[in-house]
Amino acid sequence: MLITNTIICDINGERELDVRIEDDVIVEIGKNLSDTNTVDAKGAYFMPLLVDTNISLQDATLNAKNIKNISDEALRGGVGHIVLNANTTPAIDNEIVLEFAQNGLHNIEGAKVDLTLNALKEDMTLSNIAILLKKGVVAPYMSTIAKNNLAIKIAEYVQMYKVTLFCKAEDNSLINSGVMLDGKVSSKLGLAGIPDLSEVLHVSRMIEIARHFKINILFKSIASPRSISLINQAKKDGLHVECEFPFIT
């Protein structure tokens, strides 16, 4: 099959080319290709399946049905690889729940699914990060409600196993009943706002931890422009810190 007039979008940018596919494999990309079976893409984009690292299950309920549903839905939307958030019920913070979650990965036909572990248990003690990483979890997740001594222990595990730390920057004492970043939009909607200092203070703290331990950090759901500025500066300094696409108010 030959797909013509498609805009290829990949790491090399965008360009309009023809794509020949045989047995579900791309065998040729170029201009003015010919084939008896031709599909005119009419300028549609042709790109690799996407990766989404911010996927939550329905009602955050961890079970095989929800995992299958989110995997199928992702693939239909052009996402080929997803990483489930750690805010599940039950949370993946021990071997029993991990095994239960991994059983739900069998026989899925949609997007590939990877699991993260919750580095902090409900009682604010550390989960068994080392064992869970060895058993197939791709990354630990932590909220910065963790005290400094716990954050440093988690960073040491991340450094030891050379994985990326998924991090939610937040401060329990500043969140109160807020549901979104404090600003014009929260005021217009009549919603309780969260001061940006709740995020900014802990982004700054975790950047320094990343600098000290030379680890990779992915900040989850960043909302403050100041946080983005700090992360951009850290990247210029050579640190391996990233953030998910934010919504800025």
**What confidence tens digit (pLDDT) does each residue in 18-55 have?**
999 998 888 999 888 988 899 999 889 998 889 999 99
* pLDDT band for position 163 (cuts 50, 70, 90): very high
What percentage of residues in the chain have a pLDDT greater than 90?
71
Q: What average pLDDT does the segment 153-178 reach?
A: 91
The b/e string for 80-92 (b: 16+ C-beta within 10 A; e otherwise) is ebbbbbbbbebbb
pLDDT of residue 245: 63
**Long-range CB pairs of 47-50, under 8 A, 24+ apart, other chains included:** 47/8, 47/9, 47/10, 47/78, 48/10, 48/80, 49/75, 49/78, 49/79, 49/80, 49/81, 49/111, 50/78, 50/79, 50/80, 50/81
3-state secondary structure string across 66-127: HHHHHHHHHHHCCEEEEEECCCCECCCCCHHHHHHHHHCCCCCCCCEEECEEECECCCCCEC
pLDDT band for position 149 (50/70/90)? Answer: very high
- Asked whether the predicted pLDDT for residue 247 surpasses 50, the reply is no
Q: What was the pLDDT predicted at 249?
A: 38
Write the pLDDT tens digit of every residue in 53-111.
999 999 999 999 999 999 999 999 999 999 999 989 999 999 999 999 999 999 899 99
CATH number of 49-118: 3.30.110
Question: Residue 61: what are its φ and ψ, rounded to 5°?
Answer: -85, 120
So where are the chain's domains? 2-45, 49-118, 144-249
Residue 172 in this model has a pLDDT that exceeds 90: no
